[in-house]
């Protein structure tokens, strides 16, 4: 895929994932234009001041809740990367309608605006918390996934296609436990919810490059899931503060002991490739003009397969986690890891 003649818009583009996406795009892919669509004018100003001032960059103030503004922003856009969301679990629990307005209704607005503008490809970023959700954030992301996948039905007579990428915790993103551990280290005590807790983990760079590759391969309706390592929360605590005392405080409301990226039920429609899984849509008639069959590219999963953070075959050990965290600590100390 040639990005040089493509106009790309990224919702929530002034956050860490969005900024890393823009950084990689400018360095390696050189699109004709990148539009940052977000509602925080201060963060947009700070982006410009921090070096995001390439001539191909445009800054568009707007909210995904505002469909008219989205329609204006998507005029002439070829590719949309949808990252905007309310993602703090406690905040979503306490403000449920606000989470629904942004994560579900806002996603619907992106879909409608993309259809009206004739956008070619829309890729939405999802999360492992959308699988068998136990909190509102996960439920809204599950609903958003369903909206994006099924919207290919409405776009079947056009060139617009919708897909999703689903992965685990992004190192250093908003809500990451690492800065909490770094701060607690100064007091000599780190709090964790359960010593058995595990999580999937992916770096910003890996996540962004996976999204780009999936945009290039998508035909509409897929949920792309990378093969990524798991880590134990207790190992992360030991990597950040090996000398600190660890206090177990119990699992918080809306929190899982382990996360899942592919459920047993989804596995029946999923194929495995060397470095990722692809959950195929139940209806695929909109892909027929492409002659694309994922089953020819990958291997169907065994019955009962479950991709969980506790049953993963890839694990990050304490030494590996320490190597990953060290450069992040420098950025936190300098105040450069604020999402």
Residues classed as catalytic: 129
Strand duo 270-273 + 276-279: pairing: antiparallel
Rounded CA separation 225/211 (Å)? 10
Strand duo 169-170 + 245-248: pairing: unpaired
């Amino acid at each position: 895929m040639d990005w040089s003649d493509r106009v790309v818009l990224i919702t929530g583009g002034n956050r860490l994932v969005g900024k890393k996406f823009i950084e990689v795009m400018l360095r390696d892919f050189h699109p004709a234009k990148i539009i940052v669509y977000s509602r925080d004018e201060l963060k947009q100003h700070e982006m410009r001041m921090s070096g995001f001032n390439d001539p191909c960059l445009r800054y568009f103030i707007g909210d995904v809740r505002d469909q008219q503004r989205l329609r204006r922003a998507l005029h002439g856009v070829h590719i949309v990367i949808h990252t905007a969301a309310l993602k703090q679990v406690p905040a979503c629990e306490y403000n449920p309608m606000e989470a629904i307005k942004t994560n579900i209704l806002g996603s619907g607005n992106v879909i409608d605006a993309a259809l009206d503008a004739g956008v070619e490809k829309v890729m939405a970023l999802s999360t492992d918390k959308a699988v068998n959700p136990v909190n509102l954030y996960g439920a809204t992301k599950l609903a958003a996934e369903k909206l994006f996948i099924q919207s290919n039905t409405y776009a079947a007579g056009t060139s617009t296609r919708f897909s999703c990428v689903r992965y685990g915790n992004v190192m250093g993103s908003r809500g990451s436990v690492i800065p909490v551990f770094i701060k607690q280290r100064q007091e000599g005590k780190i709090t964790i919810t359960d010593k058995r807790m595990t999580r999937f983990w992916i770096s910003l760079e890996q996540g962004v490059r996976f999204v780009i590759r999936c945009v290039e391969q998508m035909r509409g309706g897929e949920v792309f899931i990378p093969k990524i390592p798991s880590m134990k929360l207790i190992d992360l605590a030991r990597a950040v503060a090996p000398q600190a005392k660890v206090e177990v405080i119990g699992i918080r409301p809306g929190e899982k002991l382990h996360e899942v990226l592919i459920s047993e039920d989804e596995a029946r429609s999923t194929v495995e490739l060397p470095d990722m899984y692809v959950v195929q849509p139940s209806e695929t008639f909109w892909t027929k003009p492409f002659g694309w069959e994922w089953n020819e590219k990958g291997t169907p999963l065994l019955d009962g397969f479950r991709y969980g953070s506790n049953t993963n075959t890839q694990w990050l050990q304490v030494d590996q986690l320490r190597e990953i965290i060290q450069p992040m600590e420098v950025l936190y100390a300098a105040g450069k890891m604020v999402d």
